[in-house]
Amino acid sequence: MTPNSVRPSAVRAIAAKVGVVLGFLASIALAVPSHAEAPLMPAGLNDSLYVAPADLAAHAPGDVLQVRTMPPPLGFLPLVSVTQIQFASTDSLGRPIAAVATVMSPPNRGTGPLMVFDHTVNALGLACAPSKALWSGDPNLAIGPALQVPMAAGWTVVFPDHLGPKSAYGAAKLGGQITLDAARAAQRLPELQVGASPVLLSGYSGGAMAAAWAASLAPTYAPELDIRGAAIGGTPTNLEEMAAGLGLNPHPAFGLAFAAALGLEREYGTQMPLSDHMNPAGLSLRARMANACTDQILSLGANLSVGQLATDLSLWDDPDIHGILRANSLEFSSAPPQVPIFAWSGDGDVLIARDALERTLGRWRSQGVPVAEITVPGDHIVAAMLGLVPAVQWLFGVAGGGR
């Protein structure tokens, strides 16, 4: 298969496949260097909403930093009011960051719960995040308009840019923190009228990792939030297992794997110095992907392999690398969610490590977490939509009437 022969349906399936994306992280991990090749960060946007204020460190997580209104994106009802918020959050190492979320408010705002929905975002460019891509017609964000059913019932829906200001693709725990701070920010903005609303969490695939991490982190990171439940679909839960189980042969999804490795390097810096041991071809690909969205990442990396881009593979034996993978794997999180969980997946979904998911859900059940689990027909892409209907129905139930 060549980049030009990847069918659109295959592209969408590959784009959703967080397991494959993260699986090559082990392969691209390299020996601790004697010099430092700095991670290549995304280019900034010519937009003040994405510029952190000088006094960022003085703000608590969830504090509102900037606000602006936007017209509804194509596919959303014109009566929906759109507010974009820049707010304070923290990265994987506890450092202050400024994050962004897009809030969709129904005409009867304030009458229903606040739902935070984490889209799957397979990208290294800031323009690929929901706050931009919802307006560009990115097909990977196609679930968003389907949430207008709960909006019609008075729900306010928040779409966080859960990869953060570095577009740190692969950093799932970061996504959980941003998700919680997006809910805080929405509740602290009086005009949204959701300050007393219960909070619901949801997401699919990589977005499900962010939502599930938010549910797990909430008791210690944001204990004041009245979270009623989390609905997660197609959820990868063990990045280390995925990494160990995937080989070094050329693969049509290698571009996403390479992008995820770069995203974690952006987030963890010297703890994961991948660029230090890339050969010239690897550094060239890194530069071309630095601001790319899903389709370009797939095209640039299709059928490449680690051996073509790296000088050696020895960092797979480094405990720091395993520590980073485990730090972003739900299976190894010591704190289970303290809210009910609804989990769904497709009976034909071969893109997630199902054994790891079942171990994670089983552990949560043994720790007293109410877990409802269903399997729907279809592969990873089909299951995203088919599972959303019962997931929203379940969320209606745990919301307890909304207010």
Q: 348: which DSSP letter?
A: T
| Alpha carbon distances (Å) from 118 to 33, 141, 235, 284 | 35, 10, 12, 31
Rg over CA atoms, the chain? 20
Note the maximum CA span of the chain: 60
Between CA 48 and CA 67 the distance in angstroms is 11
| Alpha carbon distances (Å) from 71 to 25, 83, 106, 135 | 39, 9, 13, 9
- The vertex-393 CA angle with 390 and 398, nearest 5°, equals 125
Domain regions of the chain by residue span: 1-403
Between CA 274 and CA 262 the distance in angstroms is 8
Between CA 16 and CA 270 the distance in angstroms is 28
Between CA 235 and CA 99 the distance in angstroms is 23
CATH T-level fold of 1-403:
Rossmann fold (3.40.50)
Residue 291 CA, distance from chain mean position? 17
The CB density around residue 268, as the number of other CB atoms within 10 Å, is 24
Cβ-contact 357, 164 below 8 angstroms? no
Q: What is the structure's pLDDT at 38?
A: 86
3-state secondary structure of 250: coil
Q: What is the pTM of this model?
A: 0.89
Q: Which residues contact 391 (CB under 8 A, 6 or more apart)?
A: 202, 231, 233, 342, 344
3-state secondary structure of 204: strand
Which two tokens mark 179? 């998700």
- The vertex-355 CA angle with 210 and 247, nearest 5°, equals 85
3-state secondary structure of 134: coil
Q: What is the structure's pLDDT at 34?
A: 40
Q: Each residue's pLDDT tens digit in the chain (403 positions)?
A: 333 444 444 434 444 443 433 344 444 343 333 446 889 999 999 999 999 999 999 999 999 999 999 999 888 878 889 999 999 999 999 999 999 999 999 998 888 999 999 998 889 999 999 999 999 877 767 777 788 889 989 999 999 999 999 999 989 999 999 999 999 999 999 999 999 999 999 999 889 999 999 999 999 999 999 999 999 999 989 877 766 544 367 888 788 878 888 999 999 998 998 898 899 999 999 999 999 998 899 899 998 888 888 888 776 777 888 899 899 999 999 899 999 999 999 999 877 888 999 999 999 999 999 999 999 999 888 999 999 999 999 999 999 855 5
Instruction: Give the pairing type, strands 341-346 and 64-70.
Output: unpaired
Between CA 280 and CA 235 the distance in angstroms is 35
The CB density around residue 70, as the number of other CB atoms within 10 Å, is 16
Report the Cα–Cα distance between both ends of the chain, in Å, rounded.
53
Residue 333 phi/psi, 5-degree rounding, is: -70, 125
Which two tokens mark 253? 């999804």
* Torsion angle (degrees, nearest 10) of CA 134, 115, 153, 129: 0
Q: What is the structure's pLDDT at 162?
A: 98
- DSSP sequence for 65-115: EEEEEEPPPTTS-TT-EEEEEEEEEE-TTS-EEEEEEEEEE-TTTTSS-EE
Instruction: Give the pairing type, strands 96-105 and 64-70.
Output: unpaired
Residue 194 CA, distance from chain mean position? 24
Between CA 130 and CA 211 the distance in angstroms is 15
